[in-house]
Each structure stands twice: as structure tokens, then as C-alpha cells.
Structure 1
């Protein structure tokens, strides 16, 4: 058994001492603890008697801590704080985040530039963005994520974002420095930036050009990145033309960081969906995030 029980008159006396020492006022401590000032004064006096030393200096201006009182207060305050944090942690009252799992490209070029809008609207909701190179199932660790699925995909706690549309993108600087594109076959005279993700199947340049009715014979993958985020970075840096996806490229296009050098686009049979776990779907904070995401992507559906 802890010796603490024999060293203090009661656990209540520790709370009274901490409040009085922190406020340096018996009156303020009484108000905080919802007791009378004489009750605080009596509790402190009994505590001092039990400790065998004075903890406060009392004068006409109020109270001050003695050297012993200061030492004890520092230990009590630190201990209270550690206990408080641990109790918050195990009771689920600690700062909780809505966890959003997304591809690195969506996280970097859609979420990151816009989440401050969400924080302005909901300053009390904390967001944790988890970049992942594959689709993850919403569960007790992941609250919200985005999947690319057949357009007729349906399940509980899922929301349609937009159709999958794929088109060429490049930086405005690249477009100014190179010949304009009139047809799909004009792509053969440009540097094309390729992507080959390990876990997310993306349409290749050869597939896109073939679907757009162009000649694929001269397409050579000179630059290939294994992460689509790197492909977009290369396009932003003016290294060439990349394929852009409707959702991922939305913010970059609307802010003229990227442009479409050719208006041809391929619309697939797939669409982007926002998903949440069953428990998160019942969470008011999570619903705020879902509603905000759908508002931000409204133009893609319009």
C-alpha cells in the first residue's frame, strides 16, 4: 500500500493545497472548489499540521508559498498533470483526430492546400492525414478515405465524388516554351512523364492515346515514376506533360498551377467515392468533414 495515505490527511487536502498554491489565494481556491473560504483555510492548516511545516506565509496582502510550499506545489502540480493526461488518454477524452487516408497525390495537391478552409470553419476539429500507396479499409484507425471504383459502386457510408476523367496536364511555363498541341498525335513531339504505381492501377500514356484515337507507336517511357505524386511534381516543375485525374488535378487546375494543353479527355467507367467507417459515419465531426469535402468538390459533379 502506498505510504501517501499516511502522509496526507486526505486526498481532498491535496486538491485544496494545489488550488490555493496555484491561485495564491484562499478565496479564489474556495470559489474554484465550490466551498467556503474558512473551509479552505482550515483544510490548509490541517495539511500543514500533518506535514509538520508551514506551506504558506499569511499576511495582510494575502498568502505566499514558503520554500517548502513551493517545492511541494511543483511536485503536486506535475503529478496532477500526468494523472490528468493519462486519465484523458484511457477514457477517450484526449484530443482526438479525424484520420483521413489518401494517396500521396491527393494528400499533397488536394487536401493539404485546402484543409485550412476546413479549420477556419471548424477550428475545434483536428485532422490527421495519412498518405498511403494503396486503398485501405475505413476502420477503428482510419475514419475517412477515397476509393476509385466502378461507377455503380454502393455501400453504406459512401458518397459519390465525381467520375474518373483523365487528360493531359502541364505547367503554364512548359506550354509557353513548347509548340502548341492541336491533336492527340502532337503529343509525340513532347516529353511525356509516365507513372507506374505498384498498388494502384493507373491508365498509361499508351492506353490513353489509344483510347483517344491517336498513334501509340512513337510513345517511349523515357521518364517513369513509381509514385503518381512524383509525376505531378515533374509536371509542375515544367519537365513535361503528365496525365491528370479529375479529382487530383482539380485544385491545381483551378489555381492555374497546371493547365490542359489539349482538351481531349477520356471518361472511364469508374468514379471516385468518399468512404467512412461505420462508427465514423455516426460521428458529428466526421460528418462535418464529409460535407466539407463534398462542397469543395462540387464543381466536379456540376
Structure 2
């Protein structure tokens, strides 16, 4: 019989030690394990007393591992990794997916058209896309999502994807038939409007005002409550829609949509890729994160 259980104050102390050693911060370890910081400190002290050796050096700047602590951490990390790998193999034989939640327009016009490139690079990784009409917090069912937030977002496990840039778009055939040489010419054509009860989007009135045109109240005659439908109308040549830097990127690159003018509005917002703050699948999702950031950087 293994004597390990007699060499530890409790098996839980190994989980506490691993989290504290990996973060080198008792507060972060406490947040990860959903306990108090004092509980982490007491558990570490109990482990040190039981082993009769210091595992951490404590000073005003925080904590560091001792030589013995580093040796123990390397073995604990390796052991946990092997146990986790084996448990996944025997308890989850079904296909595992990386799940990403996005708006319908982001999914239809950016993720889905671009994903074949990712799957060629990572054929063993399986992706599940779910559409949502509102921003959701990643959880045990959703690994990643995309939010539009003010620039400078400070959040653990978040990555800046692209700044928000807004500009008019239309189909190439529509532009051939239209006479658009200046911003003033835009209002002579059908402007496709959309509104979203859960996500604030810039309206045509706001955009025109920001580029210096203050027209009379615009009377929209084509309005959708889903931005995806507005994009479909623009693709069908029904008029001019406002395009967003990220969601219109693929369509512009393929020349399915064009920009009739160079004018654009750069806001103080940006698109961010978001994972759970306590995500336990970072190693698995990072290939997708890195690919999205690289793909979004293509002009």
C-alpha cells in the first residue's frame, strides 16, 4: 500500500500547493480554487509543518519557491498532467469540441468562411460554433466568445482582436449603378438600417454626423432587427449598409462587398476574444486563439 497518504496532511494539500506554486500568488490560487487567501496560507503552512521543510519564501514582494518547493512542484505538475490525461481518455471517449459563441453575422461572415484554413492546420481539433443574440460569459459549455468593449479591457484570459472601424459597404453591382462620389451622395440611395436590442450598434444617423454631415432626420425604408439580415440585403444589392472592420473583412477581401468611399469612423471600442477567467482548457484552446488573432490581422 502506498505511504503517500501518510506523508501529507491531506490529499487536498497537493492541489493547494500546485495552484500556489504555479501562480506564485496565494490570492490568485485562492480565486482559482474558490477559497479564501487565508485558507491557502493555512494549507501551505500545514504542508510545510508536516514535511518539516519550507516550500515557499515569503517577503514583502510576495512568495517564491524554495529549492525543495521547485523540485516538488515539477513532480506534482508532471503527475497531475499524467493523471488528467488518463482520466480524459477513460471518461470522455466521445469527441471533444472547442466551443465558440458569436453573433450570427460574426459566425456567418467571418468564422465559418475562415475556419477551413484552421482545420487544415489543426485537423484533430474539433470546433463547435453557437450563435447568440447577446454577450455571454464563457462557462463549462462555452470556451470562447467575442465581445465588443472599450479599448484597454483589463481581464484575465482576454485577447485584443481588432479595433472597431465602421464604414459604408455595398455590393459591386450596386456601386456600378450608383453615383457615389462623396458622403453627401450616400443619402440619395437606400440606406439599410439595423437595430439590436441587446448589442448597441452605430446607426446611419450617428455615422453621418461623425463624418461631418448633419442631414435631416433619415426616414429608413429598410430596417432589420438582425445585423446578419442587413448584411444579406447589402450582398443582394438592396442598398448601402454600415460594415464593421471585423465582420466585413472576409466579404471585402473576396470582393463580395466593396467600400464606396474611403471615409470611416474609428471608435474607442475594440473586439476582444474572451475565455473564462478560470478556464482550465487554455492549452487546448490556444491554437484557436492564436489562429483567430493572426487571421484578424490580415487586412
Structure-to-structure mapping, 1:244-283, within 5 angstroms: 244-280=243-279, 282-283=281-282
1:204-246 alpha-carbon deviations (Å, 9 max, x no partner) = 0001101111132152211100000000000000000000000
TM-score in terms of structure 1 length = 0.68
Which residue does the alignment assign to 1:107? 107
How many residues are paired up?
A: 213
- Could you say what secondary structure the match of 1:290 adopts? helix
Matches of 2:89 and 2:171, distance apart in 1: 47
Give me the CA root mean square deviation: 1.8
What is the Cα deviation at residue 298 of structure 1? 1.2
Asked if 2 retains the 8 angstrom alpha-carbon contact of 1:185 and 1:215, the reply is no
Which residue does the alignment assign to 1:178? 178
1:266-285 alpha-carbon deviations (Å, 9 max, x no partner) = 11111111111245464322
Matches of 1:281 and 1:243, distance apart in 2: 38
- Could you say what secondary structure the match of 1:128 adopts? strand
Which residue does the alignment assign to 1:241? 240
Asked if 2 retains the 8 angstrom alpha-carbon contact of 1:252 and 1:258, the reply is yes
Structure 1: which 4+ aligned runs deviate by more than 6 Å?
A: 87-90
Unmatched 5+ stretches in structure 2 = 1-86
Greater C-alpha Rg:
1
Unmatched 5+ stretches in structure 1 = 1-86
Which residue does the alignment assign to 2:15? none
Q: 1:254 to 1:295 in 2, by over 3 A?
A: same
Asked if 2 retains the 8 angstrom alpha-carbon contact of 1:195 and 1:226, the reply is yes
TM-score in terms of structure 2 length = 0.68
Q: 1:194 to 1:96 in 2, by over 3 A?
A: same
Matches of 1:259 and 1:237, distance apart in 2: 13
- Could you say what secondary structure the match of 1:112 adopts? helix
Q: 1:281 to 1:251 in 2, by over 3 A?
A: farther
Asked if 2 retains the 8 angstrom alpha-carbon contact of 1:101 and 1:132, the reply is yes
Which residue does the alignment assign to 1:204? 203
